[in-house]
Chains A and B, each alone.
Chain A
């Protein structure tokens, strides 16, 4: 085709070429807006998840089992859950690697660290005499109860609130920290607390008590659920949500990563953290409670607080244990 055009003379060629060659399509550049990238499995909640307050039977959740004496490290009583763990050679702990200060992966070392992780290491120390005999399994908020029910982990220390609903499926240790839900916003947002969140998009992790509290709050925020807490910070930084609402411990960790955010408002819930343990392993619950008791007494709880949570203020007294026997 081109050779024929050439043969027809230069002027004809120029004319024809102009007519035949596709004009670059400059008029319709089809970019209106670019869909913002989303964390995997992020979704806006259309119906409120079941709340522990409304659906579960009432109980006294924070009363755990009274501890017995603490056996010497490396000498767990035969037939006990601890003896099984000792025979395996390592404690399998369900933790988080995305919650700065509580359980997070240190980007420099690749190691998992934090206040929750310090509790788990103390329990490993009590069993083996060596805090490093521990295997971490990273769990999302949603996975925690299921992992315990399947027996994938010996215990879960992951900012886990003791609730009656969860107590039906798993055991909890005595309370090792008492947090409360607050709100994290951009400093310029003008939002001063949970009451300013009406109609705003508020992020929390799937399966957390925080998400239920947000979705059921009377000012009616729009709850957005993601797998991990840092996913919430990503969405806040990208302007896809207006606020993050969860325990002050977690929010402090998020605020520490972004100086343009601040934690606002008063606590509007109380979140007592317990160590999750599979149903049936009552001996292990008593053992863990004994370890927690020792930590309360010998200053190691306070030093763990000092290591990780001092941004929240000076170390308070550790929560007093309550038992149902």
Chain B
């Protein structure tokens, strides 16, 4: 602030000129007028810039980072499901069932489409380049291996199973880890944009209060020196500054609360639910691959135990599902998660039966229990559990979108509005002081 008068008067003589001016009433009036104009204009520019930054972050959140995080999640989900479907189709023996084949094809199409979205959006992010490269280069290789496996199967050649194992290895060792890295990065962007948009409006409020303080000081000086208690210019300037301050405080409060709600009602829940869904898909893949390996699948079964414990804890209602239930803030999400817990229990019981049958030597029975879609069997329970999680995720995403839209709405017109009010205040203050200065001519 101390440098601003320098810039206004002629630079070389400025210090002496300022002290001489400050000594006289018109000089003080001039300085006060300049100060109000500068503080108000500067405050307006800073507020407008700050509000615009906040609005940009919210726009980024609503139109870019959250949709990208969802698309990245979709890549992971579709790939994981494709792998489980391919394994299930193989497990049945003979020509694969039409519905598993079409599920696999849909998964691959969805993965490709979601990958295109992520690639498009992540083209500028160098940290994702490697993972995106892995996915775009290796996904066609994966589908090629699955088709080779299928062709060999139809010829009755056992080498088909080896191609399928190689495909699954590629999926688990390269594609899924790359998809997970992308999801984590996109999710971090959601958090980043939320952090960037829910800060307190410290700078705006500070300049608003400073502007008001300048106006009050100028008004008191005027009333002491000139015996005129009312100055229209200063009144308008004070009104504009007060209005701007109020607007900023109210709008920012709405945004801060909205973004906080978008976390608790939206992204925080989506986070847990997506993890739950990934665990569900992994567990299903492990369940199927244990049987495909036929007796040498202990590592898959161990991994199944790990992911199901992660999913539902020891009881089936703790773990990720327990956290999702605790985090749920709306009835619809709570209902979906409760239903997911029930279906997870049913699945666990079905899995017990599968393991008992397989361990007792009834391999065919175990395969039937795994693939049959009858109620109470593993395939049915898994499908329902997955559907519950999808429902919960889309509910939580809708809540997120609604909160962010509300926050964005609160900022409508605020950036130009606060700038205009600041300029109006500066002009009014200058005009009001000019009325008094004129009297000294």
* A interface, CB within 8 angstroms of B: 22, 25, 30-31, 34, 37-40, 90, 92, 94, 97-100, 104-112, 134-140, 143, 228, 230-231, 233-234, 237, 254, 257-258
Q: CA of A230 to CA of B161 in the docked complex: distance in angstroms?
A: 8
- Cβ B295 vs Cβ A137 within 8 A: yes
Of residues B129, B145, B363, which shows the largest number of chain A Cβ atoms within 10 Å of its Cβ? Answer: B363
Q: Which secondary structure dominates chain A's binding surface?
A: loop
The total number of A-B Cβ pairs within 8 Å is: 113
Q: Which residues from chain A contact B155 at a C-beta distance below 8 Å?
A: 257
B138 at the interface (CB under 8 A from A): yes
B163 within 8 A of A: yes
Interface 1/0s, chain B 129-154, versus A by CB < 8 A? 10001000110011001000000111
Contact between A107 and B157, CB atoms less than 8 A apart: yes
User: Is B162 a contact partner of A233 (Cβ separation < 8 A)?
Assistant: yes
Specify which chain B residues have a CB less than 8 angstroms from the CB of A134 in the assembled complex: 361
Q: How far apart are A134's CB and chain B's nearest CB, in angstroms?
A: 8
Most B CB contacts (10 A, CB to CB) among A22, A104, A110 go to A110
If the complex has contacts A38-B169, A40-B166, A138-B294, are A104 and B141 also in contact, measured as CB distance less than 8 A? no
Residues in A neighbouring B145, C-beta threshold 8 A = 37
Task: Tell me which of A90, A111, A228, A234 has the highest count of chain B C-beta atoms within 10 A of its own C-beta.
Answer: A234
Closest residue of chain A to B158, judged by CB?
Answer: A104
B159 touches A258 (CB 8 A): yes
- Chain A residues lying within 8 Å of B124, measured Cβ to Cβ, are 22
Name which residue of chain B comes closest to A3, CB basis: B416
Q: Does B206 contact A (CB under 8 A)?
A: no
Contact of A98 among B129, B153, B162, B173 (CB under 8 A): B162
A128 to chain B, nearest CB (A): 12
Residue of B at shortest CB range from A89?
B361
Does B92 touch A at the CB level, under 8 Å?
A: yes
Residues of A within 8 A of B157 (CB): 100, 107, 257-258
B414 in the interface (beta carbon within 8 A):
no
Closest to A110 in B: B93
Q: Determine if A136 and B295 form an interchain contact, defined as CB atoms under 8 angstroms apart.
A: yes
B123 on the A face (CB < 8 A):
yes
Cβ contacts under 8 Å, B154 to chain A: 107
Beta-carbon contact of A139 and B296 below 8 Å = yes
Q: Is the CB of A38 within 8 A of B294?
A: no
| Interface contact A22-B123, CB-CB below 8 Å | yes
B295 touches A109 (CB 8 A): no
A108 to B363, CA, bound (A): 16
Query: Which chain A residues lie closer than 8 Å to B156 at the CB level?
Result: 106-108
A to B CB contacts below 8 Å, 9 in the list: A39-B166, A40-B173, A97-B158, A98-B158, A136-B294, A140-B296, A143-B296, A237-B159, A257-B155
B398 in contact (CB, < 8 A): no
- Expressed in whole angstroms, the Cα–Cα distance for A97 and B152 within the complex equals 15
Q: How far is the CA of A106 from the CA of B363 in the complex (A)?
A: 15
Q: A104-B158, A107-B156, A231-B162 given as contacts; is B141 within 8 A of A137 (CB)?
A: no
Chain A CB within 8 A of B167 CB: yes
CA distance A143 to B295 in the complex (A): 11
Q: A107-B93, A139-B295, A231-B166 are in contact. List 7 more A-B contacts (CB 8 A).
A: A39-B165, A40-B168, A97-B294, A107-B153, A107-B158, A230-B162, A257-B157
Q: Which of B331-383 contact A (CB under 8 A)?
A: 360-361, 363-364, 367
Question: Contacts A34-B137, A257-B159; is A138 near B295 (CB within 8 Å)?
Answer: yes
A257 to B148, CA, bound (A): 13
Q: Which parts of B76-111 form the interface with A (CB within 8 Å)?
A: 91-94
Beyond A39-B162, A107-B156, A110-B93, is A34–B295 a contact (Cβ under 8 Å)? no
Does B42 touch A at the CB level, under 8 Å? no
Q: Which residues of A contact B361 (CB under 8 A)?
A: 90, 92, 134-135
Check A228 against B162 for contact (C-beta < 8 Å).
Answer: yes
Q: Which residues of B contact A99 (CB under 8 A)?
A: 158
Min CB–CB distance B82 → chain A (angstroms): 15
- Closest partner residue, chain A, to B299 (CB atom): A40
B166: which of A100, A104, A143, A234 is its contact (CB, 8 Å)? A234
* Bound-complex Cα distance A230 to B162 (A): 6
Tell me if B162 and A234 are in contact (CB < 8 A).
Answer: yes
- Least Cβ–Cβ distance between A85 and chain B, in angstroms: 12
Name the CB-closest residue of B to A92: B361
Tell me, in angstroms, the Cα distance from A231 to B168 when the chains sit together: 13
- Residues of chain A within 8 A of B34, CB atoms compared: none
Asked whether any CB of chain A lies closer than 8 Å to the CB of B170, the reply is yes
Contact with A along B275-315 (1 / 0, CB 8 A): 00000000000000000011110000000000000000000
For A257, list chain B residues within 8 Å (CB).
Answer: 152, 155, 157-159
Asked whether A234 and B159 contact (CB < 8 A) given A39-B169, A140-B296, the answer is yes
- Determine which of B133, B170, B294 lies in contact with A30 in the assembled complex, contact meaning CB atoms within 8 Å: B133
Chain B residues with Cβ below 8 Å from A22 are 123-124
Measured CA separation A230–B163 after assembly (Å): 9
**Cβ–Cβ contact A37 & B166, under 8 A:** yes
Establish whether residues B93 and A34, one from each chain, have CB atoms under 8 Å apart when the complex forms: no
Chain A residues lying within 8 Å of B322, measured Cβ to Cβ, are none
Cα-based distance from A135 to B160 in the complex (angstroms): 23
Q: Is there contact, CB below 8 Å, between A100 and B169?
A: no
B142 partner residues in chain A, CB cutoff 8 A: 37
Chain B nearest Cβ from A28, distance in angstroms: 10
Q: Are A135 and B166 in contact (CB under 8 A)?
A: no
Instruction: Please name the residue on chain A nearest to B364 by beta carbon.
Output: A110
CB-defined contacts of B360 to chain A, threshold 8 Å: 135
Q: How far is the CA of A215 from the CA of B92 in the complex (A)?
A: 38
The 8 closest A-B pairs by CB, nearest first: A110-B93, A135-B361, A137-B295, A230-B162, A257-B157, A40-B169, A138-B294, A104-B158
When distances are taken between beta carbons in the complex, the residues of chain A under 8 Å from B364 are 110
B56 to chain A, nearest CB (A): 9
A168 CB to nearest chain B CB (Å): 24
Check B296–A100 contact: CB distance below 8 A: no
